[in-house]
Structure formats: structure tokens, C-alpha cells
Structure 1
Amino acid sequence: MQKIIMLLLLAANFGVTYSQEIPKDSIKQKEEELDEVIIQSTRTSRTIINTPTRIETIDAEELDEKANMRPANVSMVLHESTGLQVQQTSATSGNASIRVQGLDGRYTQLLKDGYPNFGNFASGLSILEIPPLDLKQVEVIKGPASTLYGGGAIAGAINFISKTPKEKAEYNFILNQSNIGQTNVGIYASQRKGKFGYAILGLVNFQKLYDVDHDDFSEVPKSNNFTINPRFFYYPNQSTSLMIGNSLTKGNMKGGDIQAINGNSDGNHVYFEQNETIRNTTTVEFDKKFENKNSFKFKQSLSFFDREIKIPNYQFSGFNTNAFTDASYLWNKEKHTVIGGMNLMYDNFKQKNSSALDAKSFTTGVYIQDTWDISEKIKLENGLRIDNVNYSNTNFSKNQTFFLPKIAAVFKINAKWSSRIGGGFGYKIPTIFTEKTEENQYQNVLALNNVKAEQSIGGTVDVNYKTSISEDLLFSINQMFFGTRINKPMILEKEGDNLFFINASQPIVSKGFETNVKFIFKEDFKLFAGYTFTDAKAKYLTVNQFLPLLPKNKLNLALIYEKENNFKLGLEGYFTDKQFLSNSTQTPSFWEFGFMAEKTLWKHFSFFINFENFTDVKQSNYKRVVNEPHNNPTFDEIWTHTEGFVCNGGVKIKL
């Protein structure tokens, strides 16, 4: 009971619900449609208006716009969302991680259709290997999400939800070309016929070396990769479905000294960084619905990730196996929706040519969550997960049990006002695969020794207001407050040439707020504004406690004018405040702007062009990212764009 009271107090102090649904036909119709957005990440299939957990949605329309800008992966979808930050971790390879509420990427759980196959050795490349072409929705939970998703969801969870086949066939094709030498060709096809259905995604990406500041080092690495993801569906009757899918992604990225990569090496031109990866994920999902609206779901995934990192005179490679099994049952009563289940997760990393960093973990978890419709205006959600985790490496083995309670509530005050409150506990088991070690290609990193899991408590509170200012103008605002405390955080220490992890005695504390405002005029003009204030500190530091590479203030602006099935214009602006680097110096603040246009012709064909960062903000405008000597360089931390202005355009076909 004391823990539950603590959760309520924490959430009340810090932390609320915003959804990015966009009007289509009329203000009145859209207000009705807003209630009908179905949320999958809580596993209850409830509408967003009746879900106590705070969830933001990025819908198919916005995903389609972002695919114009970056068809290869979802980084642009996340980069331009309020409260999310895509952090590039390598100047030459382009690797990146996603931060929520200012916390490192390892604290956010990335999911594809609810499967957590993107952690550990794969984490630095994960968002670069998820294409947006087959997505119908992205759901973002900010704040603790461990009750349903277990370890790693301290800062939140991001669930990328794929399209499923319908009776009407869907065929999408995209061809994109950019001024920095990127070519993308993608196709998505799906259809359901009677008891059978299929969906298939195919995407090929090519990128040439790009050196915007002519310093002989690439800002964008040379790369080629492809993804093929077929899924097959069987519907023996109206209440039962079976899905079997397999996703294969293969990539090769090589950046560094332009002459060395082009085969013109000499004593002064030798540096490169190469990443070769193969990811294969097989998924099986069985869903059975009963007459009383109850349902049973079984999910199984098996993922293999093979990666090799090469730089001059050094190589690091490994093979990561991840298996996930989840079985759950959903009860629908008159005023209660209860979901309970259990899952198993196995993760095993094997280093090639050495066993020094081998590590594995096995997690057994059980969970239950009850959503109680107390009245039409108040809905309460309580949950509890119990995880038992055994993790080990060549130095030690540890077993820990975690109790993860959660509480959330939504209050629908009237037709215009609503509010949400929520809080919960989380944990993250120790791993050497972090943003800092990724930057160093895992050189001189020692195996973990006698460290404990990081544990957290966090919460959010928000208030929503929406109204029709006039017959043609819809206005809405969401104000959210958040707070997270991570105890015993894992920090990287250095002794001589060796790097090793310890548990810090003092916590990391992140708190702040987000403000999201929308104006929609005559269904055609849409203005979005999002502001994020983040105050995140590492209390174990004695001088500057602010987390590095984290702006305290960020502002997102977007103005869109659209005539449905005709054309679309968009102007975007983003302000990023000063950031501290690891050496406690500060970066300049900066604005960046973008413009996109899309024109539909002959109903099924459209052409698009995108001017991303047309003000040409890039880090080399202030100082070279690469430091001498040329044949053995070091690199500054990445705090803004490295490639500068990017123009791309192409054609889309939708049949």
C-alpha cells in the first residue's frame, strides 16, 4: 500500500494525454472519430478516450508524410515528435538511439507489433532498421511501461504497429532520391481472401559517401541494405486468426576517410568505420476471440542479430539471440477489463573470436492489469508485474526478482476537459551495450562484474482541453508533466585504457513538462506547436550534473495546408536549446526549418519533394567534428546535424 501511495504522490507532483489525430471531413465528425482511435499497446483494444494509460499516437497520415522525408527508416518520425530525441552516436557510421524524457536510449523499449527484439547489441542500429512503409500507427508511452512490457521500459515504450490485410487489396510503391546520394525503392502489398491473407514489405536503400564540409571525412556513410518481410495470415473462422512472419534485414555501412574508402589509401588516409549486420526475426501470433468478448493471444518471436564492427587495427563482432514468448487472456466484464498473462525472454550474446564479453539473461514474468470503469467519467487502471531475472557473464551470475506495480486513471470532466494521472516502477538489467560504449566501438570495455540492475520510479500527469472556437476552427491543448528517478544507475568509468561499469550511489532524476497545441481551420489548415522542458541530472556528478547532449528547451512547429486527394504543403520549424557536452562546455542553440510538398495526380499517383533543414544547420558550421591526426582521428560528440541541408523527392503509387 505504501508503494501505491508513493506512486500517486510522485505522479501528482510531476506528471498527463495527447493524441495526434488529424481531422479529415468535418470538425464535428473528427471529434467523434477521436474517441474511436483503437490503442493496441495496452493490449485491451480500448479506444484512446477510454484508456487510463497516457498514450500518444502517430497515425497513418503523419507516417505517410514522414516516409516522404526518410523512407529508409523511422528516425524522422521520432525526431520530429515532441519529447523525443534521436541522438546520433557516431560521426562516421550514423548510428543513433532514441531518447525519451532526456534519458539514454537504453531506458526506452522499442517494440514492433509488441515484440521486443531491438535491444542489447542491436540497439545502436535499431531505429535505422525499421522502415515506415508498412506501418499503420505508432504508439508512444512516455513514463514507466514495465508492468506490461518488463525490463527496459523505464523512460517509456514505442510500439511500431504494422498494417494487416483487408478484403480490398493494397499496393504501395515508393521511389525516392536525395541530393546527398540516397536512393530508396520500396513496395508494400497486402490482401485478405476468405480464410487466407498476406502482407509483404520489400525495401532497398543505397547511400553514397557524402562529405559536405570537404574535410575528407564522410558525414553520411556509404551504405546499402535491404529488408524483406512477408507475413501470412490464416482465418479458420471469424473469431480465430494465425499469423506467421519473417523479417530479414541485411546492411553494410562504411564511413570515415573518403580516400581510404574509395580505395586510395596511403599513410595519411587510412581511417574507416564499417558495420556489417544481418537481422532475422521470425514471429508467430495466434488470436482467439470468444462470444463473451473475452480473448486469448499467444505470441512467439525468435530473433538473430549478427554484427561486425571494423576500424583500422581493430574488429569487434558478435551474435545476439533473442527469444520472446507471451501468452495472455483478456476478460471483459460489465465494468472491468482484465488482462493477465506470462512471458519468457531469453537473450544471449556471444562475442566472436573471444568469450570475454559473452553474456546472457533469462526472464520469467507474470502480469495482471485491471481497467475499471468506475463511471462514464472516471476510469481506473491498476497493474502488477513480477519478473524473475537471471543474468550472467564470464565474471558473475546474479538472480533478482522485481515487483512492478502500476496505477493510472483518466477523468473525463466534461466534453472539453479531461485529465490523466499515472505512475509505476521499472528496471533495467546490466548491459555493456550503451551509447557511450557504442561510440567507442566497445574497445577496451571490460566485462561486467558484481553490478546490480537499475531500478526506477516515475509518473506523468496531464490535462487536455479541446473546443470549437468557431464553426470552422478547432483548438486543443495538452499539458503534461513528468518525472523519473533511476536508482543505482550504471555509469562508465575509466582506469588506464580500460573502461568498466559500476553502480553509482546517487540517482539520475529527470523531470519536466510538455505542451502540445493544435489549431485546425476549415479542415485544410493545421497548425501544431509542441514545447518540451527537460531538467535531467546525474546526482552522482560533483560539478556539472546536467545530462550531456540534452537541450533543456525544445520547440516544434508545423503548419500544413492540405486538399485531400489533391495536394499537401508543409512548413516545419524546430528550435533546440544549448546542450552540455561531456566536458561541461555548452553548444550553441539553433533553429532548423523544413518544407515539403506533395501533389496527387490521376488518383493513384503522387509526386513529392522535401527540403529538410534548408537553413543548412550543421555541426561543422561551428567546428570540425573530426580532430587530427588525420590517420588516427578522434571525433567530437554529435549534437546537431552533420550532413546539413538535404533535398529529396520521388514518386508514390497507391493502388
Structure 2
Amino acid sequence: MTCKKNIATLFFVSLSGFFFGQEISDTLKTSSVEEVIVTATRTERNVATLPLPTQIITGESIRKSGVSRLNEIIQEQTGLITVPDFGGGEGIQMQGLDAAYVMILLDGQPMFGRSAGTLDLSRISVNNIERIEIVKGASSCLYGSEALAGVINIITKKPQISDKLKGNVNYKIAGFNTHDASANLEYGKNKIGGELFANFFSSGGYSLSSDEFLNTVEPYRNVTFQPKIKINFNEKVNLSASTRFFMQNQDYKARIESQEMTGESLIKEWNHALLINQQATEKLKIVYDLYATHYQADEYLNQNSGQLFEESRFDQWFFRPEIRSHYRLGKNTLSAGVGMNYESLDRTYFADKAVLNSEYIFGQFEWFLKEKWNILAGFRYDHHHQYESQLSPKLGINYKWNENLSLKASVGYGYKAPDLRQLYFNFTNSAVGYTVLGYNVASEKLALLQNQGQIASVENVDFSSALKPESSVNFNFGGYFKKEKFSFDYNLFYNRITNLIDTKVIASKKSGQNVFSYLNLDEIFTYGAELNSSYRFNRNFTVSAGYQYLIAKDQEMTDRIKNGEIFARNPSTLETFQLRPSDYFGLLNRSKHTANLKLNYTIQPLGTTINARLFYRSKYGIRDSNNSQILDRYDVFVKGYFTANLTINQEFKYGISAQAGALNLFNYKDAANIPNLAGRQFFGRIQYQF
């Protein structure tokens, strides 16, 4: 309670298309000179002058694609791969780094609810999105923890101060008994504007197997309600307030020891943001930002007799007041900010409510040197109470060679704080018998198990020092070329993560099972290249293509292979043999090659647009099947595959439009290895704009 009071005191005291972005433009706009982005610097910046790898997905291109949820549009972008988690949700992999290292923002505010490191992107409707800004590479100098790989900022529509009621309603029906209905209304008068968005989404789920009881994804339904208000007090001061409510119910089923059990999973989410923008002087702008969010997930499972078998809860709160200022020095901008974080989690398998507190400051200087050079330098210092504090610097340089060509390079430091699960988990699987303990409670709980006579042996592990945050160094070098109808951009990247937090056996039980905890163990690296190009044949026909090459490996395993320490077992002869460096494929769930091809054609006299997208992902490994401790070329792989999406848009008079199309047009399925890829799904949508 004291911390919450301190947060409030600090804040109040301080108060004193696809392809549619050009004429008929790209699905994913990249480095277009007309575009402005705020995520990369927290100031409005022209994309072409940024020294960081950035991408923009426009709201118009999202609408023309016909998709409904955020994961569907994200997975169509170059270098972004959606991966399933244990609960059927989808996170995002960026530059070869897991979803746990990608920060997801909604209108510049962090989203929470990562039960196992993954934030499910399907929680977010795309029907009121104005644009999505993607910044690749370590961004901890502005956003702190979880921004090692990059940031995805979903920017929703803002209230407009107009005395005319505007809005739209739309309804989509699709395969798998899917229904998506949305309404968006906006109205303003004098100095006050308001906007209201509501969405209902339901799915019958789908099954990729012949099991009549269990589905791959069980049926679910959710609602989103998001009101916003903006008040212009005068020319120098305005206030913006927004609230988002999200609630989802999903069927929960399990088969345990041949007994079929049923239950329900319930998610409730609430986000609230209050911002005051003050133009203190002609050169100085101050932003007062107060943000709070609450994420709650509860589920239960009953036996077929109706008796409760198990239940779990996940109750997370986050509060953050922040003050930032931007001072103009000619063309240059000096930014600075200070804030506090308060996070708590009350969860099943936690002995007590876990709390994380921190304070932070950050600074940034955007320097335009003559007409060709732009230098971006920044830092952030996070003072943590439960683990080591962190300093996160960043430096970027952009050189405008001429009107058609620019080059950019950046280096940054990122970190990811240990999450509350890694610090305070206390879980024992009642059926199997293994135990998982968070780092901060491991010594106490292990001693308790020893006193109970359950432990046979203990590993030599020191828990006296604090668990270190995972940290990374990120390098990017790229360029952009555009002339007449052709554009091309590239980015070369390298990431190295140290103090990677992973599970390790810390003791063995007399029952034969193990006790695990989370420790700083490994060091991994990723590197590769991303390429995007677009060619506009005429005002009606545009083609674009994207490609990513990726290598992602464990440094320790790479060294051990070179030293001849890693062996694999031949499944036929059961003989072991030494692995060579060329046998090491890399980390699980990483493809060396991913590519996309997108075509957009408009039939002007009919008002019809045809949008076709083709995607390729090369093979990737899913498990170590020969006891080599690494993913080698003799293990189990998912074969490379193609998928395709097709959307036809038709414009009518009086603000009416319609869509028809298909996702996963080729009906590619792999029930055993790709649970997040359903079969072919046809859809149709009708929309009325007024």
C-alpha cells in the first residue's frame, strides 16, 4: 500500500494496406519518407531518418487483409514468426529471439499476462488499429525489461474533436464457426472528443486429430470494450484518457488416466492510461503519464462426477507513473524521463504474493548534423529492488547518401529481468513427482524437502547471490534505396544473450524424480539478414517480396562440439558417435529461411482489389530425439512448407464495403508439430462506414 501511495504522490506532485499506403501501396510499409513513427524514439520521427530498423503496418492495410486478430497480421511480416505456447496462444519470434524477449505495447503502454513468458497476441482485435509500429533490435534504453529483441507497438484510433458523429460497424463470419463483430463510434464538441470501440469474437475452435473429445484449440469467446476521451484545455495543455476491458471464456478439457474431464478457463484484463501533454514553452514539451493494468486468469477442471480435480489462478497488477520531457534545440531534440514500476503477482504455486519494485531514468539526444547525418544516443538506468540494477545504452547513426539512398547502423544493450515465476515458483507435479522451485525460494524449500526425508542427493549450487537479469548486445547495419517505382531495404543483425535463465536439476528425490530451479546458465547468439523489396508496375498493380536468413545457436554447445564432447546415438544400432560442427543445426523452432511474396491488383472501374500473399518457412527442429543434448541434423524436423492467404475487397456506394477470402488457402496442416496452424478457413465480411 505504501508503494502505491508513493506512485500516486510522485505523479501528482510533478503536475505543479497491405500495399495500400502509397496510392495503392504496400502491405507492409518500410522506410517510406511520408511515414512518422513514435515507438523508436518516443518522439515523432520520419521513418527515413531513423538509424534503427523499423517497419509500419497501416490500419488501412490491416483492414484490406481481412484478418481479425493481431497474431494473424503479425505473422505475415518479414522476419516475424508466431509460435504456439502451451495453452494454444501465439507469441512472436523476432531476429531469432523468443517471444519472452519481445515487448508488446498497446498505445505505448506495456501489456501483461505472460503466464510462461509468452503474451498471447490473439487477445487483441485489429478492428480499431490505426497502425502497428515495429522496432527491431534491443530497445531497453527506452522501454526497460523484455525489449531485448525489439518492440511492437499497437496504436489504436484516437478521439477526433468534431461535432459530427462518425464510425463504422462490421461483421465477419468464417470457418470453424467464427464470428467477429465490431463497432467504432467517435464524436466531439468544442474542446472534448470521445471514441468508443466494442468487439465480440467467438470461435468454435478446431481439431487436427480424430479425437472426438479433445480439440487442438477448444471453443472460446471474448469481448473487448475500449472507451477514450480527449480534452483540449487550451492550445498548450490537453488530456487523454483511455480504458480497455477484455474478457474471454474458453472450454477446458483434459484426459487424465483415461478419465475425461471438463472445465473452463476465464481471462479478465483491464488497462487504463491517463496522459497530460503540456507545451510548457515554445521549445519544451512535458508529458505526465499514469498507467495501470490488471490481468487475471482462472481455470478449473472437474472430474466426470462433477467433483473438482484441480484449479489455478493468475492475478497480476502493474502500476507505473512516468514523467518525460522533450526539449527542442533547433532541429535537435533532447529527451529525458523518470518513472516507477510496481508489479505484483498472486499465483497458484506461489507461497505468497510476489512483488517487484523499481525506479528508472532515461535520456536521449537526437542530433541532426548538417543534412546528411543523424545521430541517436540514449541510455536508461533501472534501479531494481529484487535483482541487479541495469544500465542500458544505445547508439544509432543514419547517413543520407542522396535522395534515393540512406545507410544506418545501431548498437544497443538490452536486458530481461527474471520474471516472478523464475523467482518464486513452488510447484510439484502430483502425478509424476518432480518439483520446480523459483530461485529466491529454492534454498528454503529444498531444506524443507530434506527435513521431510524426500531428497537423495543435492547438487553443488550456490543461491547466495541474486539471480542475474538476462542481457544482450545487439548490432544492426542496413540501408534503404528507393527510385521511381522500385524500393529496396536490407538489415544485417547480430544478437548475443548472456546469463540466459534456464532450468537445471538441483537435487534428486528418493522417488527417482528431480528438483529443478532457474539458474543463469547459457549464452546464445543469433545473426542473419532481412531483405524487403517492392515494385509498382502501375497505379493498379504492386508486387513486394521479403526474405530472412537466420542462424541461432547456443555458444556453450558450439564450443563443446568443437572440443569433441557431444555425442549422439544411432537409433538403429544404438551406437554412439561424435558430432561434428556441421551437424549442429541450432536452437529449436528456428528456420534458416523464411520468405513472402505479396501481390496487390486493383480493378478501378469495379472498385475491386485482389490481395494475394504467399509465405514460405524452411525446415526447423522440434526436439532432440537421439540424446545428443542439442538439435543436430539427425533429430526430428518439421519439413519446409508454403501457406497462402487471399482476400478480395469490394467497395460499394454509401460507405458499404465487403470482403471475401481464405486463410491457409493450400490447407496445409501438421497436427503433430504445428498446432497453431488450422486448416483452410474461408471468410466473408460486410462493413458500413458513416
Q: 1:132 aligns with which of 126, 141, 156?
A: 126
**After superposition, where does 1:643-654 map in structure 2 within 5 Å?**
643-654=678-689
**After superposition, where does 1:115-264 map in structure 2 within 5 Å?**
115-118=109-112, 120-121=114-115, 124-166=118-160, 167=162, 169-216=165-212, 217-256=214-253
Distance 2:25 2:650 in 1: 22
1:547 matched to 2:587? The reply is: yes
Deviates more, 1:290-299 or 1:458-467: 290-299
**After superposition, where does 1:442-461 map in structure 2 within 5 Å?**
444-449=435-440, 450=463, 451-461=467-477
- Secondary structure of 1:581's counterpart equals strand
Q: Report Cα offsets for 1:405-462 as digits up to 9, x if no partner.
A: 110011110111111111111111112659xx9xx99995322234211111112111
1:407 matched to 2:406? The reply is: no
**After superposition, where does 1:335-374 map in structure 2 within 5 Å?**
335-352=331-348, 355-356=350-351, 358-374=353-369
Distance 2:585 2:471 in 1: 20
Residue 60 of structure 2 is matched in structure 1 by: 61
Amino acid at match of 1:503: N
1:327 matched to 2:323? The reply is: yes
**Larger C-alpha radius of gyration, 1 or 2?**
2
Change in Cα spacing, 1:110 to 1:192, as seen in structure 2 (3 Å) is same
**After superposition, where does 1:529-548 map in structure 2 within 5 Å?**
529-541=545-557, 544=584, 546-548=586-588
Distance 1:545 1:288 in 2: 53
Whether the aligned pair in 1 keeps the contact of 2:421 and 2:438 (CA below 8 Å) is no
- Secondary structure of 1:121's counterpart equals coil
What is the CA distance between 1:220 and its match in structure 2?
2.8
Residue 376 of structure 1 is matched in structure 2 by: 371
1:475 matched to 2:480? The reply is: no
**After superposition, where does 1:610-629 map in structure 2 within 5 Å?**
610-620=661-671, 625=672
- Secondary structure of 1:487's counterpart equals strand
Residue 292 of structure 1 is matched in structure 2 by: 282
1:518 matched to 2:534? The reply is: yes
Q: Report Cα offsets for 1:118-174 as digits up to 9, x if no partner.
A: 254386454122211121111111101111111110000111112112236431212
Whether the aligned pair in 2 keeps the contact of 1:20 and 1:59 (CA below 8 Å) is no
**After superposition, where does 1:422-461 map in structure 2 within 5 Å?**
422-431=410-419, 444-449=435-440, 450=463, 451-461=467-477
What is the CA distance between 1:563 and its match in structure 2?
4.9
Amino acid at match of 1:61: E
Q: Report Cα offsets for 1:477-503 as digits up to 9, x if no partner.
A: 111101111101011235625443111
- Secondary structure of 1:238's counterpart equals coil
Distance 1:97 1:389 in 2: 27
Distance 2:76 2:529 in 1: 17
Distance 2:595 2:527 in 1: 17
1:567 matched to 2:615? The reply is: no
Amino acid at match of 1:330: H
1:417 matched to 2:405? The reply is: yes
Amino acid at match of 2:556: Y
What is the CA distance between 1:517 and its match in structure 2?
0.8
Amino acid at match of 1:649: G
**After superposition, where does 1:574-593 map in structure 2 within 5 Å?**
574-583=615-624, 584=631, 585-593=636-644
Amino acid at match of 2:357: F
What is the CA distance between 1:304 and its match in structure 2?
0.8
Change in Cα spacing, 1:192 to 1:46, as seen in structure 2 (3 Å) is farther
Q: Report Cα offsets for 1:176-216 as digits up to 9, x if no partner.
A: 11121111111112233221011111011111143254332
Whether the aligned pair in 2 keeps the contact of 1:380 and 1:410 (CA below 8 Å) is yes
TM-score where L is the length of structure 1: 0.84
Deviates more, 1:135-144 or 1:334-343: 334-343
Q: Report Cα offsets for 1:588-614 as digits up to 9, x if no partner.
A: 111111211111111411111121111
Q: Report Cα offsets for 1:313-365 as digits up to 9, x if no partner.
A: 4332121011122110001111421110112111111125x533743211211
Which ranges in structure 1 are unaligned for 5 or more consecutive residues?
1-18, 261-265, 392-397, 469-473, 626-637
Residue 601 of structure 1 is matched in structure 2 by: 652
Distance 1:606 1:369 in 2: 45
Residue 633 of structure 1 is matched in structure 2 by: none
Distance 2:552 2:318 in 1: 32
What is the CA distance between 1:581 and its match in structure 2?
1.1
Q: Report Cα offsets for 1:228-252 as digits up to 9, x if no partner.
A: 1111111111232101221111111
Whether the aligned pair in 2 keeps the contact of 1:335 and 1:374 (CA below 8 Å) is no
1:463 matched to 2:479? The reply is: yes
Distance 1:381 1:253 in 2: 46
What is the CA distance between 1:379 and its match in structure 2?
0.6
Change in Cα spacing, 1:74 to 1:240, as seen in structure 2 (3 Å) is same
What is the CA distance between 1:35 and its match in structure 2?
2.3
Distance 2:144 2:37 in 1: 19
Residue 38 of structure 1 is matched in structure 2 by: 36
Amino acid at match of 2:271: T
Amino acid at match of 1:418: S
Counting aligned pairs with the same residue, the percent is 20
What is the CA distance between 1:389 and its match in structure 2?
1.1
Amino acid at match of 2:284: N
Residue 49 of structure 1 is matched in structure 2 by: 48
Distance 1:513 1:273 in 2: 45
Whether the aligned pair in 2 keeps the contact of 1:20 and 1:57 (CA below 8 Å) is no
Change in Cα spacing, 1:641 to 1:223, as seen in structure 2 (3 Å) is closer
Whether the aligned pair in 2 keeps the contact of 1:115 and 1:324 (CA below 8 Å) is no
- Secondary structure of 2:115's counterpart equals helix
Distance 1:648 1:178 in 2: 4
Whether the aligned pair in 2 keeps the contact of 1:53 and 1:381 (CA below 8 Å) is no
What is the CA distance between 1:282 and its match in structure 2?
1.4
- Secondary structure of 1:62's counterpart equals helix
Amino acid at match of 1:133: N
Amino acid at match of 1:329: S
1:113 matched to 2:107? The reply is: yes
- Secondary structure of 1:80's counterpart equals coil
**After superposition, where does 1:379-398 map in structure 2 within 5 Å?**
379-391=374-386, 398=387
Change in Cα spacing, 1:432 to 1:290, as seen in structure 2 (3 Å) is closer
Change in Cα spacing, 1:36 to 1:218, as seen in structure 2 (3 Å) is same
Distance 2:36 2:178 in 1: 35
What is the CA distance between 1:375 and its match in structure 2?
1.3
Amino acid at match of 1:534: L
Residue 496 of structure 2 is matched in structure 1 by: 485
Corresponding residue pairs, total: 587
